[in-house]
Amino acid sequence: MYSIRRVYKTKIGKAREAALLLREISDVYTDAGQRNKAVIYYNGGTLPCPKEELNRIYMHWSTEIIDSPYRDDNKFPSMDGKYDIFKELLDDSDGPTSWMEFWEEIK
């Protein structure tokens, strides 16, 4: 089993708004059978954390297989413009707006 976490950097003051939208986006993928239900969490500055983790959103899920999203038989679900709105909330001022982390789970 694999544990996957996608990290997003948001613009200052936009972490909660972006996290709520990411919850909707993640649910579209789950409902389409693309991935297991993800946990969405964030810190917009109201909780203690290292300063480099402020305004970050995390989407974390587990999967049996790591598949390429660009595989031939994969069909991307319709987001009805949600992802375009989400991208506007991300901070692209210094480096990438997101990255992915992968781990193997021990059961």
Sketch the domain layout of the chain as residue ranges: 2-104
Mean pLDDT to the nearest integer, 9-37: 95
Summarize pLDDT for 54-76 with one digit per residue, the tens.
Answer: 999 999 999 999 988 888 888 88
* Structural domain 2-104, CATH architecture: 2-Layer Sandwich (3.30)
So what's the pLDDT on residue 53? 86
Write out the DSSP string of 12-38: TT-HHHHHHHHHHHHHHHHHTTSSPPP
Q: Which of 75, 100, 76 is closest to 25 using CA atoms? A: 76
**Three-state secondary structure call for residue 53:** helix
pLDDT score of 50: 84
- Determine the Cα angle at 3 with ends 102 and 20, to 5°: 100
